[in-house]
Structure 1
Amino acid sequence: MNYGIVNFFHPNHADSAMQKTCMRKKIHIITPIRPGGPQMWGRLLAKELNIRDEWSATHTRTLPRMIMTPFYEPADVVHTSVPITYRLWKKPLILTLRGNFMIEYYYWARMYPRSIRMADIVTVSSHFLKETLRLPNALVIPPSADLPQMPVRQRTDEHTIRILIVTKFCFPQKSRGVLTLLDALSKTKIKKHPISIAILGGGVYLNEIKRESRRCGLPVTFYGFTDPKPFFEQSDIFLYWSKHDNTPIAVLEAMSYGLPVVANNVGAMTELVTHKETGLIANTPDEFTAYVNELFDHPELQRTLGEGARHAILTTFSHARVVPQYESLYRGVIS
């Protein structure tokens, strides 16, 4: 008697599942070994592709596999954020640029021009980067972030205002930006509004910035390279300052948690943050201090900007909006 129960262990069902897996197109995503924005981008992209029936994605961030890639590649598409300047295979090659290699001094930066010429498609994460690198044929696909299932936080005026700073201490321009932030905070209304400052991130310049930060006399705690999610959940305001940047993923993460963002006008910041709608963008340290004071004095502005920030993630920077743009590229180069 048939009770309408499907036997998933029947050979026909097993064959069907195997066929479905074999039909998936293989995408090989390659990112730098060092933790940071590009590596996070590759990990999240692979994760999002693998929950779709059409793709089977692998994420490489180890040196041995990178060394082998030019000689052997089983994937249908290679999607890399590190330069590939030589290959024995003819699989489609997509190069994604997330920073300005012309001023970021690391050992493979000089390999990018040749890698750009070799790639079938070049994508960049902002219009700013496209113009800066003079790549008229590059496609702009913005970065993306998770949208946590949580409401925009509510806070009262009485408790200490919790400030969060997340950056990478691998580059001097970003590292020195933390000192600029602390100097700006030291000029705010901290006597009227008590604050605590959590700083996340690791790198070779961390200890130097720690030493210099003692001069500011502020309640600062450095947590090193750690999971930022609990800090995003517990903080009230997110601050960012760098002398050089493109599209810092930490800003998008803060926005996704409903944090009001105050940042300087650097790189493609205006492509991420809409001034007075999803955050505040300062052109000078004094202007930065004024914006922070405005948030201190007006909790309702914090809530309004936080709500706008989450809406921007949902409508523009969520994985649901961004990943399909990469899928279209894959289908195009495979066909």
Structure 2
Amino acid sequence: MEKIKILMLGESLDRFGGIVSVEKLIMAYAPAEIEIAHLATLPDGSTIRKILVFLQALVFLCSRLLTQEIDLVYIHVSERGSAFRQAITTTISWLFRKPVILHSHSADFHDFHTNLPRIIQIGLSWVFCKSNRFIVLSHSWKKFYVENLGLKPEQVIVLPNPVKFPSAIPQRIDTQKVILLFLGRIGERKGSFDLIYAFAAIPVAQKQNVELIIAGDGEGQRARDIVEKLNLSQYIKILDWVNELQRNELLEKANIFILPSYNEGLPMALLEAMSWGLPVITTPVGGIPELVISDKNGLLVNPGEIQQLTKAMQSLIENETLRLSLGNAAREAVSPFDISKYSARLGAIFRQCCEDKKV
């Protein structure tokens, strides 16, 4: 079978975050008949470096399109600068009459879009509608893009993020110390500081055999300052961004995963935690309520509701049976998102998009 050559545009693979994790999984597990080349449109570094790398990416994209070396352009997009950068790459690919797949990972595109001037909203809608397929992370996001940007329902494909499923997980029975874990960008949007304040409200007697670990990039120093101010240093550990091996070690020893976000697409950290059989405490935002059902495979609390978050933590800290039950159900819930199944589905989307272009 002749290989389908894909040029995938997205963040530099050296960056941190869920989008990069998805990019790496897609490249590592691509079907045999799919050949993917990655083109970075956003590196780390200064604004000047970001502009230069993007301009270089445009030159490379045009050269590949001119020489007809690719069959399809596959673009990862988010909000703000990403939306504008990838609007340019999408338009160029469309002008060269190449099939384009846009893959949206945005957690708060709805807020970003609402605050744009009307003329820019129209421009982005026009560009997004030029894509042959538009991949979103949940049915709620599909509804948003169809209703607000004018994409056709048949154009938009719901494809939740993939997860590399661990073959074995710890039993977590008769736990002497309960470990709570947060993974992700430390900041307001992910509810990191809410989590610290909610933990502070747990009675001292219950905190004695509990540890909270918060790991990620972002506002780590601000989190440390809050921990010190609240005299919680003996209970809370703040780590920087962890690599895959370190992440798996944390997930293996954790008992509860917490992600009290205000906005989300469908967070990779949540899927990974569930695949490790962890009960999760999270919020009904983005695609999360389509996956997490409260009291069945996790607990849902409203964003910013500190008291709710405290009570949810207390209920799982004191009830091992509930932790194990929710954790087992969580692992089962994300089994359809295993990377091998995801890759087969994405490969089928690639093939269909190319075949449609030939007709």
Instruction: Report TM bin, short chain.
Output: 0.7 to 0.9
TM-score of the two chains, using structure 2 as the length reference: 0.77
User: Residue 44 of structure 1 corresponds to which residue in structure 2?
Assistant: 25
How far apart, in 1, do the equivalents of 2:266 and 2:296 lie? 18
1:326 Cα deviation after fit: 1.5
Is 1:32 paired with 2:44?
no
Partner secondary structure for residue 29 of structure 2: helix
1:86-106 deviations in whole A, cap 9, x for unaligned? 23532211001111334359x
Return closer, same or farther for 1:47/1:280 CA change in 2, 3 Å cut-off.
same
How far apart, in 2, do the equivalents of 1:38 and 1:114 lie? 24
User: Residue 44 of structure 2 corresponds to which residue in structure 1?
Assistant: none
User: Residue 339 of structure 2 corresponds to which residue in structure 1?
Assistant: 319
Is 1:183 paired with 2:201?
no
Structure 1: state its 5+ residue gaps: 1-19
How far apart, in 2, do the equivalents of 1:211 and 1:136 lie? 48
Equivalenced residues, count: 303
User: Residue 320 of structure 2 corresponds to which residue in structure 1?
Assistant: 299
How far apart, in 2, do the equivalents of 1:190 and 1:304 lie? 26
- The structure with more helix, counted as a fraction of residues: 2
Larger radius of gyration: 1
Return the letter of the residue paired with 1:327.
G
User: Residue 140 of structure 2 corresponds to which residue in structure 1?
Assistant: 128
Per mean C-alpha deviation after superposition, the further-off stretch among 255-264 and 281-290 is 281-290
User: Residue 98 of structure 1 corresponds to which residue in structure 2?
Assistant: 105
How far apart, in 2, do the equivalents of 1:221 and 1:154 lie? 21
Q: Write out aligned runs for 1:107-186 (5 A).
A: 112-133=124-145, 134=147, 135-137=151-153, 138-157=156-175, 159-169=176-186, 172-174=188-190, 177-186=191-200
User: Residue 257 of structure 2 corresponds to which residue in structure 1?
Assistant: 238
How far apart, in 2, do the equivalents of 1:290 and 1:120 lie? 46
How far apart, in 2, do the equivalents of 1:60 and 1:229 lie? 28
Structure 2: state its 5+ residue gaps: 42-52, 78-85, 114-119
How far apart, in 2, do the equivalents of 1:168 and 1:289 lie? 21
User: Residue 242 of structure 2 corresponds to which residue in structure 1?
Assistant: 226
Is 1:200 paired with 2:208?
no
CA contact (8 A) 1:145 1:253 kept: yes
CA contact (8 A) 1:279 1:305 kept: yes
How far apart, in 1, do the equivalents of 2:171 and 2:257 lie? 13
1:36 Cα deviation after fit: 1.2
CA contact (8 A) 1:199 1:223 kept: yes
How far apart, in 2, do the equivalents of 1:188 and 1:104 lie? 36
Partner secondary structure for residue 27 of structure 2: helix
CA contact (8 A) 2:170 2:252 kept: no
User: Residue 75 of structure 1 corresponds to which residue in structure 2?
Assistant: 70
How far apart, in 2, do the equivalents of 1:262 and 1:241 lie? 7
TM-score of the two chains, using structure 1 as the length reference: 0.82
1:121 Cα deviation after fit: 1.1
Return the letter of the residue paired with 2:76.
S
Partner secondary structure for residue 109 of structure 2: coil
How far apart, in 1, do the equivalents of 2:100 and 2:342 lie? 19
Given candidates 89, 102, 108, the residue that maps to 2:96 is 89
1:216 Cα deviation after fit: 3.0
1:318 Cα deviation after fit: 1.3
How far apart, in 2, do the equivalents of 1:189 and 1:172 lie? 24
Is 1:251 paired with 2:251?
no
1:178 Cα deviation after fit: 0.8
How far apart, in 1, do the equivalents of 2:35 and 2:330 lie? 32
How far apart, in 1, do the equivalents of 2:127 and 2:223 lie? 35
1:293 Cα deviation after fit: 1.2
